[in-house]
Amino acid sequence: MRSSFDMKEVDYLIIGAGVSGLSFANKVKTKNYLIVEKDPEAGGYCKTIKKQGFVWDYSGHFFHFQNNKIKTFLLKRMDKSAVVNVLKNSVIHYKHNYIDFPFQKNIHQLPKSEYQDCLNDLYKIKKTKPRSFKEMVYNNYGRSISEKFLIPYNEKLYACDLDTLDQNAMGRFFPQASLKEILKHSANPNNTSYNTTFTYPKNGAMQYIHALLKDLKSERILLNESVIKIDPKTKTAYTNKRTIKYKRLISSVPFPKLLSFTSMPFTKKDFSSNKVLVFNLGFDSKGNSEHHWVYFPNKKYRFYRIGYYDNIIQKNRMSLYVEIGMRTNEKVNVDKELSRVLNDLKKASIITDQKLIASHHVVMDPAYVHINKASQKIFLTKQKTLHKLGIYSIGRYGGWKYCSIEDNIIEAFDLSKKLIRATI
Ligand SMILES: Cc1cc2nc3c(=O)[nH]c(=O)nc-3n(C[C@H](O)[C@H](O)[C@H](O)COP(=O)(O)OP(=O)(O)OC[C@H]3O[C@@H](n4cnc5c(N)ncnc54)[C@H](O)[C@@H]3O)c2cc1C
For the cut 50, the answer to whether the pLDDT of residue 1 exceeds it is no
DSSP-derived 3-state class of residue 136: helix
Query: Which domains, and CATH codes, for the chain?
Result: 9-46+204-271+370-423 (3.50.50.60), 62-101+193-203+274-368 (3.90.660.10), 103-187 (1.10.3110)
For the cut 70, the answer to whether the pLDDT of residue 6 exceeds it is no
Q: Is the pTM of this model over 0.75?
A: yes
The per-residue pLDDT for 2 is 46
Distance CA 198, CA 196 (A): 7
Q: Quick one: average pLDDT of 167-192? A: 81
Q: How far is the CA of 369 from the centre of ligand 1 (A)?
A: 12
7-21, 34-48, 380-394: segment of lowest average pLDDT? 7-21
The per-residue pLDDT for 33 is 96
Predicted confidence band of residue 191 (pLDDT cuts 50, 70, 90): low
- Ligand 1 atom with the smallest distance to the CA of 39 is 47
Non-local CB neighbours of 189 within 8 Å, separated by 6+ positions: 100, 106, 108
User: For a substitution probing ligand 1, which of 15, 23, 61 has the most ligand atoms within 8 Å of its CB?
Assistant: 61
Q: Quick one: average pLDDT of 104-109? A: 94
The per-residue pLDDT for 188 is 74
Following DSSP, what letter does each residue of 188-218 receive, concatenated? S-----TTSEEEEETT-THHHHHHHHTTS-G
Predicted confidence band of residue 383 (pLDDT cuts 50, 70, 90): very high
Distance CA 54, CA 309 (A): 9
The whole-chain average pLDDT of the chain stands at 94
- What are the residue ranges of helices labelled H in 306-404? 309-312, 334-347, 373-388, 395-398
Q: Quick one: average pLDDT of 400-413? A: 97
CA-nearest residue, atom 22 of ligand 1: 396
Predicted confidence band of residue 177 (pLDDT cuts 50, 70, 90): confident
Q: Quick one: average pLDDT of 70-96? A: 94
Q: How far is the CA of 405 from the centre of ligand 1 (A)?
A: 8
- Ligand 1 atom with the smallest distance to the CA of 366 is 53
Structure confidence by residue, pLDDT tens digits, 309-343:
999 999 999 999 999 999 999 999 999 999 999 99
- Ligand 1 atom with the smallest distance to the CA of 278 is 1
Non-local CB neighbours of 23 within 8 Å, separated by 6+ positions: 212, 408, 409, 412, 413
Structure confidence by residue, pLDDT tens digits, 123-169:
998 878 899 999 999 999 999 999 999 999 999 999 999 999 999 88
Instruction: Provide the percentage of residues in the chain whose pLDDT is more than 90.
Output: 84
User: For a substitution probing ligand 1, which of 56, 252, 393 has the most ligand atoms within 8 Å of its CB?
Assistant: 252
Q: Quick one: average pLDDT of 411-423? A: 93
Q: How far is the CA of 374 from the centre of ligand 1 (A)?
A: 23
Which residues are near ligand 1 (CB < 6 Å)?
15-21, 36-39, 44-46, 59-63, 226-227, 252-253, 276, 323, 364, 367, 395-397, 403-405, 408
Q: How far is the CA of 58 from the centre of ligand 1 (A)?
A: 10
CA-nearest residue, atom 6 of ligand 1: 61
Predicted confidence band of residue 183 (pLDDT cuts 50, 70, 90): confident
Q: How far is the CA of 273 from the centre of ligand 1 (A)?
A: 14
22-31, 193-202, 318-327: segment of lowest average pLDDT? 193-202
The per-residue pLDDT for 30 is 82
For the cut 80, the answer to whether the pLDDT of residue 189 exceeds it is no
Distance CA 356, CA 377 (A): 47
Distance CA 320, CA 360 (A): 11
Q: Quick one: average pLDDT of 78-82? A: 91
Predicted confidence band of residue 98 (pLDDT cuts 50, 70, 90): very high
Distance CA 270, CA 375 (A): 5
For the cut 80, the answer to whether the pLDDT of residue 352 exceeds it is yes
Predicted confidence band of residue 195 (pLDDT cuts 50, 70, 90): low
Q: How far is the CA of 18 from the centre of ligand 1 (A)?
A: 6
For the cut 70, the answer to whether the pLDDT of residue 61 exceeds it is yes
User: For a substitution probing ligand 1, which of 392, 396, 400, 407 has the most ligand atoms within 8 Å of its CB?
Assistant: 396
Following DSSP, what letter does each residue of 156-198 receive, concatenated? HHH-S-GGGS-TTTTGGGS----HHHHHHHHHS-----TTSEE
